[in-house]
Structure 1
């Protein structure tokens, strides 16, 4: 932890987490200045003025330079010129989640991965509620850690969704329990199109963990298991818990499936937790998410009865394979949170009915051909939207019987209705970010839901 009293700190990025960390630092006695290369929302400006925090927008002036350290929002790339100025000057650059952790009083349970982070973090919240355990739920999930950290005590667990961008600039951030769900190509535009750079960012979640801590990981992901093999060589490595829905992890404690039952293996002793048919959320990927959740609960000393109840009753999160409505016996599914290829692959894997798939948005360096096998089996119509339309058309037009484009979500949904037959489903699972047309994936999902409800 760095003493912030009377320190001159510049916060780059005035979205939700930027405002939250600026406010936190001001309360802790720092001299804070907020800068944003774009326009700052009116309500954010009002909040900054109320808290007497000076700011600038639409570019960085000299006022943004010369501070003692820099705090950056997840949306600000490391390669941004202002960030590089501080790094080249040998000054510290910290993420909002790192700074918030300095003022956290209880254990941290941190979830990262390319897909499933939001589902698992919400599932943890559901489990902790069932256990009547004192906790906060924050991070990349939509509620900044800096806004919630004041509520923590020694008995409060902080359940955090953590992105690679937030991990890029940690220093002392130390979860008691960390979870790494998977590592697949995503956000490569922020990592010089280099998958290894992106994976290394995810692995930083264990950076400060010791033998008193837990690392829960996906045993079926070769990128992660290669990392674990190296991690185990460290004298002070965290205790490991592996999860798999395909195989029993060799010699490791963890969770796996045998004879249609979830098996927990703790301290080398196996116990049957429950039948997989009792897990409320469908899909192989959600079974894995449930296994990870169960292990995090056990590592946090929550008993099996509570874990069973949580796995039986958790219904999932908005914008993640969310059934919007059924109209004329066609199901409309909102999976707006699927912002990369792997997430779409999992979504398609969850269906056994013919599909109309709405794809597109702002491309992140996607290789859509990775979806070809799933699409050939299940999708008869693709409707492409957003900036990625030409790329999707180039890679997938010949794969489906019907390929269409739409100018907006309303048109896409209307076209989907025309081609979908009874017993089928229309799936919005974009594989792209939303920023070409919408504020975020929630805005995109809500526009899809509005369009569906207008049918």
Structure 2
């Protein structure tokens, strides 16, 4: 574990005293879920939010009607906390874990917690599948949820995708529906950093490439945060086809590796649990099922399929049940989601591609030539692989949002020679892409932003939903 990770504050593992007051910072999905969970457990709760707009007022009114105190327009400071001082403060993942005001709170004897710590304590003996990674975690999370559910298990999907883990915990405590057999939890680096105690029954690590470095500082620190989740897990499932993970295979005392290649292509230190050979998913006991069971394009989705299969096998599902469920998997919204075909041109929503590496994977997975829409709020990272795929696959590129000027310079400097158009947003970008696709003879149009969405949207889902609406509204072509 890196020295920088050792320096990150770790909250005490003792439970909150019964009936102790708690402050929650952030009126988003996480904050609302935690507020309701702790309120149902008998804690006096005050939720603090720095914004004071119409959306926040509607959410506050709903919570206040349930007996939860909400204060809007309140900055994140020690002095803004309600009196008497709370025993604990729970913060949203968007707040830096080393924020100076959080440090002041810790120094004042206040326990600072992340949502996942609160949710994990509340779910008790229900085992978690904790899934993390720079890219691929959303697809694997949906796949695991689908496989376990089709296998007859109660396995709600939550965390960084779907509903909050705290909300699932509250539903279980209220006795709403059957008690889950598993919780399938997607975990971002922010959530893991804020909940270092998390110890899932099964941990899955999909990929590791530079991301969120504006928050975590260095790749080593970012890697160490994700690694901690897997080190805490009883069963560790790792992607042996990811270069960064594979290069550190010898550092694990125990792990279950997967590869979408033949077993013999892996280094001796890495003995896979699942691999693909002769068109079959293979395990130590022999062939399990055909490797084409999952109808999603790209080698990366073979890796995703194998990681989800490894989880399902650990949960007790038989290979025949897994294969049948894979063949019925409907896909993941916003991840290479095929929206429609118009005039012989396919339209794909890949709004989940919020960094260069994810956008590169999407370009590799589809058959070109493509018209690509990219833009939003740019992140740090190595764009070389993405630029290479744009040169190979993109007959034209449409740039929009805050990153359009920087991206235009990046593409020109990177040797992209195709048509390059700029516009303010997707309202202009979609019809422009349609016109370019017809003129360039493209086979598809791909929204794969390589950016965060926060310049124009609340999250990548809202961006993808808007794109889908605009594409479906395009008039039909003969």
Q: Same fold (TM over 0.5)?
A: yes
Q: Which residue is 1:281 aligned to?
A: 296
Q: Please tell me whether residue 143 in structure 1 is matched to residue 168 in structure 2.
A: no
Is the 1:368–1:396 contact (alpha carbons within 8 Å) kept by the matching residues of 2?
Answer: no
Tell which deviates more after alignment, 363-372 or 45-54.
363-372
Match of 2:421 among 404, 419, 429: 404
Query: Following TM superposition, where does structure 1 have runs of at least 4 consecutive aligned residues deviating by more than 6 angstroms?
Result: none
Q: Which residue is 2:226 aligned to?
A: 202
Q: Which residue is 1:221 aligned to?
A: 242
2:417 and 2:162 map into 1 onto residues whose CA distance is 36
State how 1:172-211 maps to structure 2 within 5 Å.
Answer: 172-192=197-217, 194-209=218-233
SS in structure 2 opposite 1:420?
Answer: helix
State how 1:312-327 maps to structure 2 within 5 Å.
Answer: 312-327=327-342
Q: Structure 1, residues 411-443: CA drift from partner, whole Å, max 9, x if none?
A: 111111111135511100001111101121111
State how 1:423-438 maps to structure 2 within 5 Å.
Answer: 424-438=443-457
Tell which deviates more after alignment, 56-65 or 329-338.
56-65
SS in structure 2 opposite 1:18?
Answer: helix
2:386 and 2:126 map into 1 onto residues whose CA distance is 42
1:222 and 1:350 map into 2 onto residues whose CA distance is 18
Q: Please tell me whether residue 132 in structure 1 is matched to residue 132 in structure 2.
A: no
Q: Which runs of 5+ in 2 are unaligned?
A: 1-13, 173-177
Tell which deviates more after alignment, 159-168 or 390-399.
390-399
2:468 and 2:447 map into 1 onto residues whose CA distance is 10
1:45 and 1:53 map into 2 onto residues whose CA distance is 9
Match of 1:370 among 385, 388, 394: 385
Q: Please tell me whether residue 156 in structure 1 is matched to residue 181 in structure 2.
A: yes
Output the aligned Cα RMSD. 2.0
Match of 2:469 among 425, 450, 454: 450
Number of matched pairs: 441
Q: CA deviation at 1:208?
A: 2.9
State how 1:47-446 maps to structure 2 within 5 Å.
Answer: 47-60=62-75, 62-64=79-81, 66-89=85-108, 91-104=110-123, 105-152=125-172, 156-192=181-217, 194-209=218-233, 213-232=234-253, 239-248=254-263, 249=266, 250=268, 252-264=271-283, 269-397=284-412, 398-421=415-438, 422=441, 424-446=443-465
Q: CA deviation at 1:151?
A: 4.4
- TM-score under structure 2 normalisation? 0.87
Q: Which residue is 1:13 aligned to?
A: 26
Q: Which runs of 5+ in 1 are unaligned?
A: 233-238
Match of 1:38 among 51, 56, 64: 51
SS in structure 2 opposite 1:103?
Answer: helix
Tell which deviates more after alignment, 2-11 or 311-320.
2-11
Q: CA deviation at 1:200?
A: 1.2
Q: Structure 1, residues 278-327: CA drift from partner, whole Å, max 9, x if none?
A: 32222111111000000001111111111111222212111111111111
Is the 2:87–2:110 contact (alpha carbons within 8 Å) kept by the matching residues of 1?
Answer: yes
2:188 and 2:209 map into 1 onto residues whose CA distance is 13
1:281 and 1:406 map into 2 onto residues whose CA distance is 31
Q: CA deviation at 1:154?
A: 7.2
Distance 1:219 1:50, change over 3 A: same
- TM-score under structure 1 normalisation? 0.92
